[in-house]
Amino acid sequence: MQQGAPSAEFVCDVRADAGRSVGVVRLAGELDLGVAGDVGAAVEELLDAGCAHVVVDLRGLSFLDSSGINMLVAARRSAERRRRAVSLIRGPRHVQRVLRLTGTESLFTFVAAEGDG
């Protein structure tokens, strides 16, 4: 691996339904220290806009580190303080494994992606 090689492109796509009751944050790439703050800010913006439920879609993640986990836990706490909810759509096996090994998987409610029946 070359030093200074660019990491995989990170995507954070934020959408809210017309009534702003549900917001979705779709992630792709590596959720690490470099982007965790931006993702946390996106979740906070949805909560500030009045979304009662924010769903963070982990399916596109190729990597998750402790800063990403800390951001998810902080988002959940922020939502609870507002009497709102943050749920996750399960990520790939390696992402779920990190959540399980750190003991944070049990902190979240997991929801099915639209169309997953």
pLDDT, tens only, 20-35: 799 999 999 999 999 9
Instruction: Say if 117 falls within a structural domain.
Output: no
pLDDT in tens, 77-88: 999 999 999 999
Per-residue pLDDT of 53-97, as tens digits, reads: 999 999 999 999 999 999 999 999 999 999 999 999 999 999 999
Q: Is the distance from CB of 91 to CB of 61 less than 8 angstroms?
A: yes
Say which amino acid occupies 60.
G
The phi and psi torsions of 80 (rounded to 5 degrees) equal: -60, -40
Q: Is residue 1 part of a domain?
A: no
Q: How far apart are CA 115 and CA 117, in angstroms?
A: 5
pTM of the predicted model, to two decimals?
A: 0.89
The verdict on residue 101 lying in a domain is yes
β 109-110/85-89 pair status: parallel
Estimate to the nearest angstrom the gap between the alpha carbon of 70 and the chain centroid. 11
For residue 4, tell me if it sits in a domain: no
Mean pLDDT of 2-29: 79
Q: Which CATH number belongs to the domain containing residue 30 in this structure?
A: 3.30.750.24
The number of domains in the chain is 1
User: Does residue 16 sit within a domain?
Assistant: yes
> Does a structural domain hold residue 61?
yes
Which residue range forms the structural domain that includes residue 92?
A: 11-110
